[in-house]
Structure 1
Amino acid sequence: MLRILIDIYYKLISGIILNCFLTAVAILALWHNFVTVHFRRRHDYRDTRSSRTHIKRPTSTTSGGGSRAHRSGSISSSSPLNDEGNLEEDPENNIEFDHTITSFETRPDEARTFNECNYEGKPTKELEDNPFQDILAAEDLKLVPNLKYYYAQYGIAIEEFEVETDDGFILDLWHLKHDDEKSLHPVLMLHGLLQSSGSFASSGRKSLAYFMHQSGFDIWLGNNRCGLKPKWNKSKFKNGKRRKWDWDIHEMVKFDMKALVNTVLEKTQYEKLTLIAHSQGTTQGFYGLTNGEVLYGDDEFRLADKLENFVALSPACYPGPLIFEKSFIKFMSLGIDHKWCFGNKSFLPMMLFAKKITKGVVIIPFMSYIMFNYLFDWNDSLWDRPLRDRHFLFSPVYISNKLMQWWLSPSKHKVSFKNGADIMFPPDKTWLPVENGAPVEKPVKPHLNSTRQNVSDFPHIMMFIPRQDRLINGEKLINHFIQHESHSLFKIWYIDEYSHLDVLWAHDTIERIGRPLVANLRLPKVSNKEATIEQ
């Protein structure tokens, strides 16, 4: 009885505080949107700075080492404002720098680390000359919070599965079916914080999910616990209402990741799959790869043994300046550990309640965008604007307050993303040690994984890092890989113009991420027997 009364107390007090907080943020966001649209010369402010970390220069002194090659590269979905020579390769460190600028509003305000490009005097040609506008014009702009509605129009059926984790949570797993029964390489997509994996597919024919499907891959959209509709195995949660929300990133990696990966492999009869993750999904991926020996313990499951490729979009291993500078994030950080402020169950339940009563299609998509815009200084400069509201049909989702504590807690007694990233992802240790892996032939300080003989014993890692993403410190992650990991293990794309969500929703995502991704995947060789069966 006492516990029930305490829960009611927390719910009432936190409800008052959070409702006042959300109301204030909503009013400020509406005012910000009104002013930027009607009074500012620039349509919408966008913070185009990067983090304060600088990418280290190549240090090789061998013949040809340390050099960078410039080459022209067309981004066919829009006319670039800068001249040819917009792609710069660093073959020594396996990094490609994409300096292409397609929108005046998104050009970097700072000098680049390695070279300075002059954008002044360039013609302002943006999305209106997009040759893919015919594809966009064919999209159904009706707002329906169900991917099946849109993908049925493309002739793609979506299967829905429920996957139970070892600790009793029911996860949603969506499968984009193919007409034929050929065995195709499986790709699991995993979403970011407060999102569902609908974010990979909401752009329709211009989404990564659709592009990968049409490129001949077996696409599975995985969702973490609770998600759009919380579900549990009730037999495992008798008298355990609090336990339903007693989880954070550790359980999501230990149980959710394992359940999703094993289910996809079981249904496709493959030994390994490709994981494509965004933001928080990349945190789960890197956590499972680097700390699996401790996290999974005596369990036979090891994430490193189940992945052929790991594609990290806006990888979140280290916090960026926004975590420490933004007033509202600092406010949340100060109160996140207090149950009377944020409660002890789900995070911001009123936000999800409002979405539920409006069916998610009235006001919520617009309000979600302007609040993201106001709070993070992101905008839709690079997005297909007719699809903007559709993107927010599949977010926000239910998460636990404990998960948000893991992200933002300032407590010195907790290991959080804000203050403990270097503990989980030590920047000066080798995470994936390989024998004779140049340039780290004999890692002095391996983290937890034992040294493996070949690079192929670990997943092939591809990272797409937006320069304008100040929510994470992608530059610090780049420096870690070029200094402490075998260069045959990874490839990095560093995109000047992109921000945190542009890797999913930019109008040219297929050209700048989709095609390079497919071209660089490490795929298992098809045996003669399998080839005969497919024929």
Structure 2
Amino acid sequence: MSSFPPFSHSSSSPSLFRHKTSLEELSARLGDSTDPSGGCAAALAASVTDHDTVILTADGHRLPGIPLPEAQQLNSSRLDLEHKHAVLNEDASSLGEQDTVTFIPLVTTARPSPSPVNVPRAPAHTHPLFPSLPLYGPTTKLRKVQSYFFRFVAGVLSTCFLLIVVTGALFKFVPESFKRLYQRTWKGEDPDRNRPFYQIELERAKNRKKQEEIWEEEAELERDYARGRAAEEFRRRHRSAERNSTEDTEKNETGAEDNPNHDGTNNKVNCPIREGGPDKLIPDIQYYARRVGLDIEEYKVETEDGFIITLQRVFDPEDPPSDENIVVDGYGNPIKWSKKGRRKYPILLIHGLLQSSGAFCVNDDDSLAFFLCKSGYDIWLGNNRCGSNPEHTLLKYSDPRMWAWNIRQMGILDLPTFVNHILSRTNFPKLALVAHSQGTAEAFVALAREQRPDLGSKISIFCALAPAVYAGKLVEEIYFKFMEAVSPGMFRLIFGIHAFIPMMMWFQRYMPGRLYGKLGYRVFSFLFKWTDIRWDRGLRDRFFRFSPVYVSAESMRWWLGRECFATQKCILATRVEEQREDDKELEREERVNRVDKEVSSASEEGIKSTGSWYDDKFPPLALWVCGSDDLVDGKRFLKRLEKGREPHVRVVHSSIIEEYEHLDVLWAIDSVEKVGWEVRDVVWKIVMEEMEKEDGKIEWRRDLAVPKGLRKGVSREEHLDYDSGVDRG
């Protein structure tokens, strides 16, 4: 049976039949040959960037891309077939024949297709930091056997690797536990007395306990009230049944007036949703949003290659953001504004490696997402592909094609999907992007001149927390060196061609929350050398309930494998390229010192711009660098910017927090004071600049809510004026 949309053809068209057959074979090889309708067969390759394609199936769905040569072959075969069918139809029409060739075109869908459709010529070489991903064929019986074999072998080997790591973490934990026990029992000392926020932790724990008790008391009163109301209602109905119909009607009317739930206006369910009591330690950000008086709205959006990814909106039920519905006249001018709430400027938050949007929502009111929401911004949380629940429009979890992606696909496909959906939903021309760790890496990759630089025109400011551009000294640890030394084939044998160590998600799902939180901290602390010294230890178990999530083994190979980040120590340049730039910088400094002012500014600028990663579309950049971060080297990236190697990047704020480790920008007790306030202020500063730049030309600023708590009396009319990195307390 054909695996492509059906054709009818004249018996006198052998050339067309040959083209049809070759196209069917190629389509089946790239699509799904098991689909009896042929709807999942590859019909067209469309380019997303100059280096990336996606496959459009005959029924309008999307599949992950293929190498450019195969994409050109698919499109060329289709064009040849369309041309020959048109010629044959013309000949048949001139001869009066009724049996003409019929070609079933690609089904179009409502969502826009990637453009341009013409696939560019393949580059002469592949960037060493982004080697070609493995190309897997459609699901066949043999492919299923191979896939399950890899899943079984990798499942066993990767679980053994995980157990070794857990064992190492526990061995490190045992001596620390004995030391704490000795201090507490024999010396009578509090082992936590030297923690920098110890008194604050004690006070917060006391307040949480008090709030839990109050919540339980109120819940008990509500239950008693509900039981009393139920008993009263039963007695009333019993008495009512013994009376005549007139009295029964009067009693029912009286009861309806007395019942506050009858018309819904006084029903407590209609009040803002709240949660309380002891922490359930569940991986549900809506639960934690409700604990601070907020709520979550969730959206499922589709990427250009068919992945279903989750976007969550944080909002205050008592002050929800507005989705403007703009009615325009025939000339495109707005004539009506329909508003549900206040206009709030949108901010998109992107999480780090092995994390989800929960990383921004676990620190009670000090959570970055909740703080910015209560400040008056419209907060959106992006979750990269697969995440907590892997979904695709066509591919199943067991299909290796669903896992053939790395940091580039997250940057050039997931991030634009988030941005476009938010802007479409809110009717703003731009949004602010706040990202942490891997989230910064995917944004820096996406905005590069060779990737999707046009995305920068939709971002007003990029706030990078713990920017993951250069590797820190942690990659020199023996367990990371082992993974770097493993060949790509051996890496896929150990960790598979599907999800990376999926057993971790099994533990997360079935292990008791408190035990999992404690074990999660020990394992991550052992691997990444983090400490909880600046965190609220009473919330620590909650922090790790959202980690890890599903990521592809290919993505982890990009971070830790032989060819990419762990080896090159950078996300966009090889070690050779970095050394070449360092040599040129040294040469420039020597020339300046030797010739002084004879060096022309044009020549100097030429040396500076050599090897720059970004063009003039890059948005304003704000940086928060963790000075004690061993996982990534943010100081080195800041130094690159200060040296002028990125002449098109405008740094509007930079801050080095020397005592901070990698996760402290999110979870430290003082993270709001050190990071949150500055993010709130610098975003509004850029919003004000946009307003001034487009004064009188833009309508989105109408009724725009001014964030609360802006320092130095910032308002819509005043400009936030401060120097980068200066404490404005």
Distance 1:161 1:186 in 2: 15
What's the CA shift string for 1:247-303, capped at 9, x where partnerless? Answer: 111111111011011111111111111111010000011112224xx324xxxx722
> In structure 2, do the counterparts of structure 1 residues 420 and 327 end up closer, same or farther at CA, with 3 Å as the change threshold?
closer
| 1:317 aligned partner | 469
Judge conservation of contact 1:253–1:285 (CA < 8 Å) in 2.
Answer: yes
What's the CA shift string for 1:37-88, capped at 9, x where partnerless? Answer: 3226999xxxxxxxxxxxxxxxxxxxxxxxxxxxxxxxxxxxxxxxxxxxxx
SS state of the match for residue 448, structure 2?
A: helix
Q: Quick check: which has more Rg, 1 or 2?
A: 2
Partner AA of 2:289 in structure 1? Y
Q: For 1:445, which of 610, 614, 619 is the aligned residue?
A: 610
Structure 1 residues without counterparts, runs of 5 or longer: 44-103, 106-121, 431-435
> In structure 2, do the counterparts of structure 1 residues 20 and 153 end up closer, same or farther at CA, with 3 Å as the change threshold?
closer
Judge conservation of contact 1:335–1:341 (CA < 8 Å) in 2.
Answer: no
- 1:127 paired with 2:198, answer yes
Instruction: Give, in angstroms, the shift of residue 347 of structure 1.
Output: 0.2
Instruction: Give, in angstroms, the shift of residue 357 of structure 1.
Output: 2.8
- 1:26 paired with 2:186, answer no
Instruction: Give, in angstroms, the shift of residue 130 of structure 1.
Output: 6.2
| 1:525 aligned partner | 691
Larger deviation, residues 421-430 vs 476-485: 421-430
Distance 1:366 1:22 in 2: 16
Q: For 1:265, which of 401, 417, 423 is the aligned residue?
A: 423
Larger deviation, residues 365-374 vs 519-528: 519-528
Partner AA of 2:523 in structure 1? M
Q: For 2:539, which of 384, 387, 395 is the aligned residue?
A: 387
Distance 1:418 1:146 in 2: 36
> In structure 2, do the counterparts of structure 1 residues 514 and 336 end up closer, same or farther at CA, with 3 Å as the change threshold?
farther
| 2:97 aligned partner | none
Q: For 2:508, which of 343, 355, 358 is the aligned residue?
A: 355
> In structure 2, do the counterparts of structure 1 residues 160 and 132 end up closer, same or farther at CA, with 3 Å as the change threshold?
farther
SS state of the match for residue 295, structure 1?
A: coil
Q: Percent identity?
A: 32
SS state of the match for residue 342, structure 2?
A: coil
| 1:513 aligned partner | 675
| 1:208 aligned partner | 368
Distance 2:200 2:290 in 1: 29
| 2:494 aligned partner | 341
Distance 2:196 2:420 in 1: 47
> In structure 2, do the counterparts of structure 1 residues 533 and 492 end up closer, same or farther at CA, with 3 Å as the change threshold?
closer
> In structure 2, do the counterparts of structure 1 residues 125 and 315 end up closer, same or farther at CA, with 3 Å as the change threshold?
closer
| 1:253 aligned partner | 411
Distance 1:372 1:28 in 2: 11
Judge conservation of contact 1:462–1:490 (CA < 8 Å) in 2.
Answer: yes
Instruction: Map 1:370-449 onto structure 2 (within 5 A).
Output: 370-411=522-563, 415-419=564-568, 421=570, 423-424=572-573, 428=581, 443-445=608-610, 447=612, 449=614
| 2:144 aligned partner | 4
Partner AA of 1:127 in structure 2? Y
| 1:97 aligned partner | none
Distance 2:679 2:466 in 1: 14
Q: For 1:229, which of 389, 396, 415 is the aligned residue?
A: 389
Q: TM-score, structure 2 length as denominator?
A: 0.55
Distance 1:505 1:195 in 2: 13
Judge conservation of contact 1:318–1:417 (CA < 8 Å) in 2.
Answer: no
SS state of the match for residue 425, structure 2?
A: helix
| 2:479 aligned partner | 328
Instruction: Give, in angstroms, the shift of residue 478 of structure 1.
Output: 1.5
Larger helix fraction of residues: 2
Partner AA of 1:498 in structure 2? Y
Distance 1:328 1:42 in 2: 31
SS state of the match for residue 363, structure 1?
A: helix
Q: For 1:281, which of 432, 435, 439 is the aligned residue?
A: 439
Distance 1:498 1:39 in 2: 25
Distance 2:312 2:203 in 1: 27
Instruction: Give, in angstroms, the shift of residue 509 of structure 1.
Output: 0.4
Instruction: Map 1:290-309 onto structure 2 (within 5 A).
Output: 290-291=448-449, 294-296=450-452, 302-309=454-461
Instruction: Give, in angstroms, the shift of residue 489 of structure 1.
Output: 2.8
Instruction: Give, in angstroms, the shift of residue 490 of structure 1.
Output: 3.5
Higher relative contact order (CA 8 A, sep 6+): 1
Larger deviation, residues 125-134 vs 343-352: 125-134
Partner AA of 2:485 in structure 1? L
Judge conservation of contact 1:335–1:342 (CA < 8 Å) in 2.
Answer: no
SS state of the match for residue 297, structure 2?
A: strand
SS state of the match for residue 171, structure 1?
A: strand
Distance 1:3 1:424 in 2: 36
Structure 2 residues without counterparts, runs of 5 or longer: 1-140, 184-190, 212-275, 321-340, 585-600, 706-729
Distance 1:336 1:208 in 2: 40
| 1:14 aligned partner | 154
Distance 2:446 2:195 in 1: 44
Aligned length: 435
Instruction: Give, in angstroms, the shift of residue 343 of structure 1.
Output: 1.0
Instruction: Give, in angstroms, the shift of residue 24 of structure 1.
Output: 2.0
Distance 1:199 1:364 in 2: 16
Instruction: Give, in angstroms, the shift of residue 417 of structure 1.
Output: 4.9
Distance 2:654 2:169 in 1: 35
